[in-house]
DNA sequence: GCCAACGTTGGC
DNA sequence: GCCAACGTTGGC
């Protein structure tokens, strides 16, 4: 099982949208590296849900509920999508500035490659993020 | 196949 | 609103 981070502009699609809709298809990814990561998704993987824009925070957890499959709305086998469902909202949002301020996260692509929208999260990073999300 | 010009993303 | 850091496009 792997952990991932998905970025979204909350004005386009937010975690509360996901909570309301119960399930969403993650489409629109065209960047090569992001697509490569997306193709590695597996049913049951954990997704950290990150809001860009004003928020710049990880706001909750989702779960991957499908393996990658070609976007049914497009005629291009390379452009894959996955389905996710909400898991839970973080007790406490974990902000980008907080992540940037800690040396444990210097290897994290969220910090290193700010333009990437589908980011692998190691077990170590995942555990640290969860720990931060539970802090008072 | 190189690279200049242009477009996009997202943090600041 | 700016711009750094990419990615993409198209002429050569």
The mean-pLDDT minimum among A3-17, A35-49, A63-77 falls in A63-77
A108-130 pLDDT, tens digit each? 999 999 999 999 999 999 999 99
Threshold 0.85, pTM exceeds: yes
What pLDDT score does A125 carry? 96
Q: Can you say whether the dihedral through the CA atoms of A112, A114, A120, A121 is positive or negative?
A: positive
Integer Cα distance of A69 and A50 in angstroms: 23
* Residue–nucleotide distance: A52 CA to C2 C1' (Å): 18
A16-55 pLDDT, tens digit each? 999 999 999 999 999 999 999 999 999 999 999 999 999 9
Q: Please return the burial class of A19, using the count of CB atoms within 10 Å of its CB with bins 0-12, 13-18 and 19+.
A: middle
Report the nucleotide nearest the CA of residue A111, measured to C1'. B11
pLDDT at A82 over 90: yes
Whose CA is closest to A45, among A96, A116, A100, A119? A119
Contacts (Cβ under 8 Å, ≥6 apart) of A31: A116, A117, A118
Confidence of residue A75 (pLDDT cuts 50, 70, 90): confident
Integer Cα distance of A55 and A46 in angstroms: 21
Q: Which residue is nearest to nucleotide C5 (CA to C1')?
A: A115
Task: Cite residues whose beta carbon is less than 7 Å from strand B.
Answer: A 7, 9, 52-53, 56, 96-97, 100, 114-115, 117
Report the nucleotide nearest the CA of residue A34, measured to C1'. C7
**Residue linked to tokens 């386009």:** A12
What pLDDT score does A13 carry? 94
pLDDT at A105 over 80: yes
Q: Which CATH architecture has domain A3-130?
A: Roll (3.10)
* Residue–nucleotide distance: A68 CA to B7 C1' (Å): 28
A104 DSSP assignment: G
């Amino acid at each position: 099982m792997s952990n991932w981070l998905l970025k979204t502009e909350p004005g386009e699609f937010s975690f509360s949208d996901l909570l309301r809709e119960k399930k969403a298809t993650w489409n629109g990814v065209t960047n090569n590296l992001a697509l490569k990561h997306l193709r590695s998704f597996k049913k049951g993987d954990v997704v950290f849900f990150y809001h860009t824009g004003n928020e710049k925070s990880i706001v909750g957890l989702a779960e991957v509920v499908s393996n990658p499959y070609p976007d049914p709305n497009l005629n291009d086998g390379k452009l894959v999508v996955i389905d996710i469902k909400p898991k839970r909202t973080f007790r406490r949002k974990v902000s980008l500035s907080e992540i940037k301020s800690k040396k444990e996260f210097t290897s994290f692509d969220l910090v290193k490659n700010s333009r990437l929208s589908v980011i692998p999260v190691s077990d170590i990073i995942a555990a640290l993020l969860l720990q931060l999300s539970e802090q008072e």
